[in-house]
């Protein structure tokens, strides 16, 4: 009699990951379709919306939010949040500009490195306090937002860094293009690709998802949760500092208002892009697409001569809808997995 072999039932965690990955791909595809629909609808009413300059503005306007969204995604998937990114952008941009102003021979490349270092220091403080004291990251980073804004205000003291103080080779990154694509968008696309690959391929990055999905199980599995969360905050801060340098390159000037309000826009873009606010799922590509969608809507409102205040209302509405959808989807997946596990036990 020949033994009949049956394939082993898939592990619940593997099945959950597979279903979650499929849902995320569908979500990202949906966002891409939404971007195309908004773009086409606006172009029909205003043909100038589809010219090369307008498309370059769309990509440039979304680039900084997408860059900040990369770091924010790493933090949010661990069930945390970083609300200090906007203030870090403003502080790093001003300090880099001030260095150029008072040290005319300062190397351009070191200007970007300086911004990254400033952001990394603030991010590491956020991570250290969150991990060691176990104070909710919402409270820690909100406090850091105000602290950094206060420090920025003291340093700026009503002054403005004007374009004449910034080296031309530094600001070129903000307005130059390659084959019609802004350098800024290319730089951010490279960062999204690299971090996206790392999040899929490296164990340390996958640990972030495990921590966000089930912190207790991650701890029992031996995952160094504190170290991973600290690293996520450090990278988020470093990218925010880098975004500050790029902000200066883009605008060629900076004052105390630099980066104001970015934190809420970034969180909206990340969540709209499919990163679950409750942690455990999401991709940096989705966050980048969310940033592009919000900026496309913003530019579409301008092209249609609709009040820019509607942009905030629409962003808020999309944020609420995304959170509600993620919650509904999570409950549905959980029920589906429970049914599948019950069927496997009965078999």
286-303 residue pLDDT tens: 899 999 988 888 888 887
Average pLDDT rounded to a whole number, residues 145-156 = 88
Residue positions counted in the chain: 347
Q: Decide if pLDDT at 67 tops 90.
A: yes
Tens digits of per-residue pLDDT, 97-137? 989 888 888 898 999 999 999 999 999 999 999 999 999 99
Number of domains in the chain: 1
Phi, psi of 217 (to 5 degrees): -65, -35
Predicted pLDDT of residue 166: 86
Residue 5 in any domain: the answer is: no
Tens digits of per-residue pLDDT, 18-59? 555 555 566 778 888 888 888 888 888 887 777 888 888 889
Let me know: does 21 contact 200? Beta carbons within 8 Å: no
- Which of 3-12, 121-130, 262-271, 320-329 comes out lowest in average pLDDT? 3-12
Residue 21 in any domain: the answer is: no
d(CA 148, CA 91): 7
Q: Decide if pLDDT at 155 tops 90.
A: no
More confident residue, 217 or 312: 217
d(CA 132, CA 257): 32
Predicted pLDDT of residue 7: 40
188: confidence class by pLDDT, cuts 50, 70, 90: very high
Average pLDDT rounded to a whole number, residues 318-323 = 72
339: confidence class by pLDDT, cuts 50, 70, 90: low
Scan for tokens 């609709």, then name that residue: 306
Q: Decide if pLDDT at 143 tops 80.
A: yes
Burial of residue 315, with CB atoms counted within 10 A of its CB: 0-12 exposed, 13-18 middle, 19 or more buried: buried
Q: Smallest Cα–Cα separation from 244: which of 72, 117, 93, 58?
A: 93
SS (H, E, C) the chain: CCCCCCCCCCCHHHHHHHHHHHHHHHHHHHHHHHHHHHHHHHHHHCHHHHCHHHHHHHHHHHHHHHHHHHHHHHHHCCCCCCCCHHHHHHHHHHHHHHHHHHCCCCCHHHHHHHHHHHHHHHHHHHHHHHHHHCCCHHHHHHHHHHHHHHHHHHHHCCCCECHHHCCHHHHHHHHCEECCEEHHHHHHHHHHHHHHHHHHHCHHHHHHHHHHHCHHHHHHCCCCHHHHHHHHHHHHHHHHHHHHHHHHHHHCCECCCCCCCHHHHHHHHHHHCCCCCCCCCCCHHHHHHHHHHHHHHHHHHHHCCCCCHHHHHHHHHHHHHHHHHHHHHHHHHHHHHHHHHHHHHHC
Q: Decide if pLDDT at 274 tops 60.
A: yes
Predicted pLDDT of residue 330: 59
Residue 45 in any domain: the answer is: no
Let me know: does 268 contact 316? Beta carbons within 8 Å: yes
Let me know: does 194 contact 281? Beta carbons within 8 Å: no
Residue 82 in any domain: the answer is: yes
CATH number, domain with residue 142: 1.10.3470
Residue 168 in any domain: the answer is: yes
Could you tell me the pTM of the whole model?
A: 0.84
Residue 320 in any domain: the answer is: yes
Predicted pLDDT of residue 3: 42
CB atoms inside a 10 Å sphere around CB 317: 12
Predicted pLDDT of residue 112: 93
Predicted pLDDT of residue 4: 42
- Return the percentage of the chain with pLDDT > 90, whole number: 37
Predicted pLDDT of residue 197: 93
Scan for tokens 């609420």, then name that residue: 320
Angle at 240 between CA 127 and CA 33, to 5 degrees: 110
Residue 7 in any domain: the answer is: no
Residue 226 in any domain: the answer is: yes
Segments forming the whole domain that contains residue 306? 34-39+53-330
């Amino acid at each position: 009699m020949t033994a009949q072999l049956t394939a082993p039932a898939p592990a619940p965690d593997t099945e959950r990951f597979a279903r979650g990955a499929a849902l995320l791909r569908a979500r990202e595809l949906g966002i891409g379709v939404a971007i195309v629909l908004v773009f086409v609808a606006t172009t029909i009413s205003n043909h100038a919306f589809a010219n090369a300059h307008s498309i370059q503005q769309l990509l440039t306007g979304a680039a900084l939010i997408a860059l900040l969204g990369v770091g924010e995604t790493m933090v949010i998937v661990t069930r945390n949040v970083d609300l200090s990114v906007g203030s870090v952008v403003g502080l790093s941009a001003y300090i880099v500009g001030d260095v150029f102003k008072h040290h005319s021979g300062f190397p351009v490349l070191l200007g970007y490195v300086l911004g990254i270092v400033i952001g990394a220091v603030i991010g590491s403080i956020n991570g250290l306090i969150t991990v060691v004291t176990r104070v909710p990251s919402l409270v820690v980073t909100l406090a850091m937002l105000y602290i950094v804004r206060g420090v920025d205000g003291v340093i700026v003291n009503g002054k403005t860094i004007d374009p004449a103080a910034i080296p031309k080779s530094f600001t070129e990154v903000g307005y130059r293009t390659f084959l019609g694509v802004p350098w800024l968008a290319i730089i951010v696309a490279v960062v999204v690709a690299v971090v996206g690959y790392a999040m899929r391929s490296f164990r340390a990055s996958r640990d972030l998802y495990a921590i966000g999905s089930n912190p207790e199980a991650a701890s029992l599995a031996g995952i160094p949760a504190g170290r991973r969360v600290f690293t996520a905050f450090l990278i988020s801060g470093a990218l925010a500092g880098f975004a500050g340098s790029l902000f200066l390159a883009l605008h060629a000037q900076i004052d105390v208002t630099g980066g104001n309000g970015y934190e809420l826009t970034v969180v909206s873009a990340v969540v709209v892009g499919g990163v679950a606010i409750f942690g455990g799922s999401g991709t940096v590509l989705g966050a980048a697409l969310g940033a592009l969608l919000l900026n496309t809507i913003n530019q579409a409102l301008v092209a249609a001569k609709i009040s820019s205040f509607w942009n905030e209302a629409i962003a808020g509405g999309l944020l609420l809808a995304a959170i509600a959808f993620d919650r509904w989807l999570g409950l549905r997946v959980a029920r589906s997995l429970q049914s599948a596990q019950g069927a496997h036990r009965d078999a």
